[in-house]
Amino acid sequence: MNESPVFTVRKGTSVDVPFVFNLIKELALYEKAPHEVTVTLEELVADGFGSNPIYGLFVAEQEGLIVGIAVYYEKYSTWKGRSLFLEDIIVTESKRGNGIGHALFQAVIGVAKERNSARMEWQVLDWNEPAINFYKKYNANLDSEWLNGKLIREQIQEFK
């Protein structure tokens, strides 16, 4: 583990969104898909902190800087009921290995526990060995049985 100053984890606020956006772009670069980030700062603020928030946010702060985030939202399983989906944990590259991801993951688990969620789910890319190993530390079920399906905005808009 690297020697690093203490960090804190707290609920995110709308003021944090520009820093959150930078971390989102950093993750997209890491995943070799910077062109895929199409969400705007305005959308992130409205969707997370508007009159009907659709995602929750934790931030990890160190020396006044946001060095990590966890984004999550509620989903529903017809078989299991209320569930929580962890969209992303992002820790800036220079701060990885210091327990920040662990603390963010624990914070989201806390929300799932508080809400009595039937399960907490997330996705991890099959080539992202550091992330896979991170989740294996929790004895998490990494399911290779299910395939991800999606329609992108253009497909949705073209649907008749």
Tell me the domain boundaries of the chain.
8-158
pLDDT, average across residues 75-86 = 96
Establish whether 135 is a catalytic residue. Answer: yes
Order of all β-strands in the sheet with 81-91? 8-11, 56-62, 65-77, 81-91, 119-122
What value does the mean pLDDT take over residues 51-72? Answer: 97
pTM of the model as a whole: 0.90
Instruction: Tell me the CATH number for domain 8-158.
Output: 3.40.630.30
**Mean pLDDT for all residues in the chain:** 93
User: Above 70 in pLDDT, residue 1?
Assistant: no
* Those residues with Cβ within 8 angstroms of residue 13's Cβ, 6 or more apart along the chain or in another chain: 49
Residue 47 reports pLDDT greater than 90: yes
Confidence band for 149, pLDDT divided at 50, 70 and 90: confident
Mean pLDDT within 100-121: 97
- The mean pLDDT of 32-52, rounded to a whole number, is 97
Write the CB contacts of 42 (distance below 8 Å, at least 6 apart in sequence): none
User: What's residue 123's pLDDT?
Assistant: 93
